[in-house]
Amino acid sequence: MTTANTSPPQKQSRRIIHPLLVRATHWLNAFAIVCMVMSGWEIYNASPLFAFTFPKWATLGGWLGGAIAWHLAAMWLLLVNGLIYLAYGFLGGHFRRHFLPLRVADLLRDLKDALRFKLTHQAGIYNAVQRLMYMAVLLLGVLVVASGLSIWKPVQLDSLVDLFGGYDVARRVHFIAMAGIVGFVAIHLALVLIVPSTLLPMVTGREPKHGLKQHGSNQEQQA
Ligand code: HEM
């Protein structure tokens, strides 16, 4: 004999697409990067490398000494937090699962779609453009920290300075890596603005609600 199912419909729980460790390190990293860039611009303004300075409102620290204090404090946060994220990424398989594979054909296709504002976005799956950008910013992060350490302690870390080809080259590399990171953040934020539904999952970890309505396919447009 069969009985009718009278129990109320089960509330479907949304799956976790960003683990807690990735979210925590991401937001701490975003805070550290903002502090480092703004205080770095104040330090740069005290002895500009090029024929321009950064506007005062975009700097942090108030004066050279204050900016150096901010820069070094945020550097330790970025370094420790970055090492935790990298350890999880490499040892926990996060990079292998989410950043790989990265195929030239996928990249060309996604780049073409992105430029035509037709790139699809699936919750929890990074497209080839995102994968390339995330890998590039990781390399820039390593470069900015290594070049920064070599211009901070050029005597103690002279082998690192030599690796860059001298103090002046290391200073330029530090600036260029900073510019690359700022460029990444600008594109990254533009993508979040174009697909705002990616933001809440980066806070709560759970896939967006509308993803379930579309029976798990949750395709949406992303530039
Ligand atoms: C307030 C500024 C930021 C916002 C609003 C933001 C937002 C986001 C969002 C929504 C995602 C998930 C994208 C998706 O699911 O498709 C993401 C991922 C990511 N973001 Fe950001 N982000 C910010 C700053 C940064 C900064 C400064 C960096 C590095 C310099 C960064 C690096 C990354 C990386 C590497 C990922 C991939 C994380 C992973 O899965 O391992 N973000 N961000």
Beta bridge mates, 16: 206
User: Taking the alpha carbons of 161, 163, 165, 171 in that order, is the dihedral positive or negative?
Assistant: negative
Residue ranges around ligand 1 (CB below 6 Å): 22, 26, 29-30, 33, 98, 126, 134, 137, 181, 184-185, 188-189, 192, 198-199, 202
The alpha carbon of 199 and the centre of ligand 1 are apart by a number of angstroms equal to 9
Q: Residue 23: which of 74, 76, 72, 81 has the closest Cα?
A: 81
Residue nearest to atom 11 of ligand 1 (CA): 202
Tokens of 93: 């398989």
- CA atoms of 162 and 67, how far apart (whole Å): 27
Write out 12-75 in H/E/C secondary structure.
CCCCECCCHHHHHHHHHHHHHHHHHHHHHHHHHHHCCCCCCCCCHHHCCCCCHHHHHHHHHHHH
pLDDT score for 168:
96
pLDDT score for 1:
40
Residue 13 is which amino acid? S
Atom of ligand 1 nearest to the CA of 89: 41
pLDDT score for 5:
52
Atom of ligand 1 nearest to the CA of 123: 15
pLDDT score for 12:
64
User: Which domains, from first to last, does the chain contain?
Assistant: 17-92 (no CATH), 99-214 (1.20.950.20)
User: Taking the alpha carbons of 209, 213, 219, 220 in that order, is the dihedral positive or negative?
Assistant: negative
pLDDT score for 209:
78
Tokens of 209: 């609600």
- CA atoms of 119 and 115, how far apart (whole Å): 8
pLDDT score for 7:
55
User: What DSSP line would sit under 107-147, residue for residue?
Assistant: HHHHHHHHHTT-EEEETTB--HHHHHHHHHHHHHHHHHHHH
Angstrom CA distances, 180 to 23, 61, 159, 171, 177, stand at 22, 23, 25, 14, 5
- CA atoms of 57 and 17, how far apart (whole Å): 37
Of the chain, the percentage scoring pLDDT greater than 70 comes to 88
- Which residue in this structure is represented by tokens 């820069």? 71
pLDDT score for 51:
97
Q: pLDDT below 50 — which residues of the chain? A: 1-4, 212-223
Atom of ligand 1 nearest to the CA of 192: 10
Which among 79, 129, 134, 188 is the best mutation to test ligand 1's pocket, defined by most ligand atoms within 8 Å of the CB?
188
Residue nearest to atom 13 of ligand 1 (CA): 198
- CA atoms of 8 and 116, how far apart (whole Å): 45
Which among 202, 203, 206, 220 is the best mutation to test ligand 1's pocket, defined by most ligand atoms within 8 Å of the CB?
202
Atom of ligand 1 nearest to the CA of 184: 30
Largest CA distance in the chain: 86
Whole-structure pTM value: 0.88
Could you check whether the bond before residue 9 is cis, i.e. omega within 30 degrees of 0? no
The alpha carbon of 33 and the centre of ligand 1 are apart by a number of angstroms equal to 12
Over residues 169-216, the pLDDT tens digits come to: 999 999 999 999 999 999 999 989 988 989 999 999 999 876 533 323
- CA atoms of 71 and 32, how far apart (whole Å): 9
Residue nearest to atom 17 of ligand 1 (CA): 202
The alpha carbon of 176 and the centre of ligand 1 are apart by a number of angstroms equal to 21
